[in-house]
Structure 1
Amino acid sequence: MSRFGPQGPRRRYAASPPRSLWRKLLDYGLAILLLGLLILVAARLDRFETRKEQGTAIVNDGDSITLGAERIRMRGIDAPEYQQTCQKAGADYPCGKLARQSLVRLIAGRPVSCSGWQRDRYGRLLGDCKAGDTDLNRSQVQAGWAVAFGDFETEEAVARVAKVGIWAGTFEEPRDWRDGHHDAPVERKHGMLASFGDALREFIRFW
């Protein structure tokens, strides 16, 4: 009978050499480092905790309110600035003031609740706000008194076709109007890319 047997030549396996002391110390060190990183990341998750505010709203303009001591910029929309004017039928009209009036009507004296975790360049909470069952962010865009600013593009398209609010005439994008009237950095839209960037900056700031 062949010494290789019916299955062919037998394979021989050599025992693995024991790990050196330095290799063990390196493995332990890496495990401790990884555990430390996980603990530090967990400790910083408070920066991403969603804040919730509610109460009687003070309406500042068409996309910002104050609840108690918290200033809130409504996320995903951009309304004309309070002093901004737009054009309709060949004449200027105070679209910024009308945008604020629209938000006042939507709230209708009801308590407002807002939630969010990001903040804008002025330190205001970027919030999704409701008065009762009314989604204020969405409704301002639907009424034509705010444009999509990272969200609510479908609602903006419907308002544009219906020619409601500022879409009944011509206007300068609120962001462009601010850039021309205030010496301030350009505001980023509140979309997915901006959210990722904010999260990344929080981690970089920590390190």
Structure 2
Amino acid sequence: MEGDTLSIKGTPVRLMGIDAPDVGQKCRNRYGHELDCFRIATAVLASLIKDQEVTCTIAERDRNGQQLGECRVLGVDLGAAMVARGWAFAYRSLSPAYASSEAFAQSRRLGLWAGQVEKPWQWRSRQQREQAR
């Protein structure tokens, strides 16, 4: 499990329209202390699921063949919940669905918005550039 990916009957499903911090990605809280954003985002998603049944509607596969979908627990859209709590970003280039949830989290400085964080897609690009040197 990751902050934007879960396993349904052994099959990974990425929550469509969101992007959460990646393995190794750090952020800073409002006091400047470094945090393991990946670990926290993953724990938040796990707490939303607890031991409840997850239902997913698979919409498509990404360029790597991974399933993308909308997943719910007790009727709650997990992607919207992660973005509204500030532990994932709306991936607007893929879907505008969670822009209002992100605005909510940002305006209240929730989760990642409380301090400093690099958006995961920017972090991945920077990591690739640094590894290419």
TM over 0.5: yes
Q: What residue is the counterpart of 2:44 in the other structure?
A: 102
The answer to whether the 8 Å contact 2:21/2:88 transfers is yes
Identical-residue share of aligned pairs (%) = 35
Say whether 1:122 aligns with 2:64. Answer: yes
Query: After TM superposition, which residue ranges in structure 1, 4 or more long, deviate above 3 angstroms?
Result: none
Say whether 1:142 aligns with 2:88. Answer: no
The answer to whether the 8 Å contact 2:21/2:41 transfers is yes
Tell me, in whole angstroms, the C-alpha distance in 2 between the residues paired with 1:75 and 1:143. Answer: 17
Higher helix fraction: Structure 1 or Structure 2?
1
Greater relative CO (CA pairs within 8 A, separation 6+):
2
Letter paired with 2:123: W
Tell me, in whole angstroms, the C-alpha distance in 2 between the residues paired with 1:101 and 1:94. Answer: 11
Q: What residue is the counterpart of 2:32 in the other structure?
A: 90
What displacement does 1:91 show? Answer: 2.1
The answer to whether the 8 Å contact 2:59/2:70 transfers is no
Instruction: Give the secondary-structure state (helix, strand or coil) at the position aligned to 1:118.
Output: strand
Find 2:22's aligned residue among 46, 56, 81: 81
Tell me, in whole angstroms, the C-alpha distance in 1 between the residues paired with 2:26 and 2:59. Answer: 32
Q: What residue is the counterpart of 2:2 in the other structure?
A: 61
Tell me, in whole angstroms, the C-alpha distance in 2 between the residues paired with 1:142 and 1:175. Answer: 19
Tell me, in whole angstroms, the C-alpha distance in 1 between the residues paired with 2:127 and 2:119. Answer: 12
Find 2:127's aligned residue among 153, 174, 181: 181
What displacement does 1:182 show? Answer: 4.4
Instruction: Give the secondary-structure state (helix, strand or coil) at the position aligned to 2:60.
Output: coil
Q: Whose radius of gyration is greater, 1 or 2?
A: 1
Unaligned runs of 5+ in 2: none
What displacement does 1:120 show? Answer: 1.2
Instruction: Give the secondary-structure state (helix, strand or coil) at the position aligned to 1:62.
Output: coil
Tell me, in whole angstroms, the C-alpha distance in 1 between the residues paired with 2:125 and 2:10. Answer: 27
Which one is further off, 166-175 or 89-98?
A: 89-98
Q: What residue is the counterpart of 2:105 in the other structure?
A: 159
TM-score under structure 2 normalisation?
0.87
Give CA-to-partner distance per residue, 1:102-148, whole Å, 9 cap, x none.
00010011111111231112211111001122211110001100111
Letter paired with 2:109: K
Instruction: Give the secondary-structure state (helix, strand or coil) at the position aligned to 1:71.
Output: strand
Q: What residue is the counterpart of 1:112 in the other structure?
A: 54
Tell me, in whole angstroms, the C-alpha distance in 2 between the residues paired with 1:66 and 1:122. Answer: 16
Q: What residue is the counterpart of 2:118 in the other structure?
A: 172
